[in-house]
Homo-oligomer: A and B are copies of this chain.
Amino acid sequence: MKTHKAKRVEITIEAIMQSRLTEALTKAGVTGFSVLPVRGGSGRSGAWVRAGEIGRASGMVQVICIIRPERLDALLEAAFAVVDRHIGVVSIVDCEVLRAERF
**For the complex, would chain A's binding face be called helix, strand, loop or mixed by DSSP majority?**
strand
Q: Does A41 contact B (CB under 8 A)?
A: yes
Selected contact of A89 from candidates B36, B62, B66, B89, CB within 8 Å: B66
Selected contact of A22 from candidates B42, B60, B90, CB within 8 Å: B42
B6 near A34 (CB under 8 angstroms)? no
Copies of this protein in the assembly total: 3
B44 near A8 (CB under 8 angstroms)? no
Selected contact of A37 from candidates B3, B26, B37, B42, CB within 8 Å: B37
Chain B proximity of A56: nearest CB distance (Å) = 12
Q: Which residues of A contact B (CB under 8 A)?
A: 1, 3, 6, 8, 10, 12, 22, 26, 31-44, 60-62, 66, 73, 76-77, 79-80, 83, 89-99, 102
Q: 14 A-B contacts, Cβ less than 8 Å apart?
A: A1-B76, A1-B80, A8-B10, A8-B93, A32-B44, A32-B89, A33-B41, A34-B60, A35-B38, A35-B40, A36-B62, A37-B37, A76-B98, A89-B102
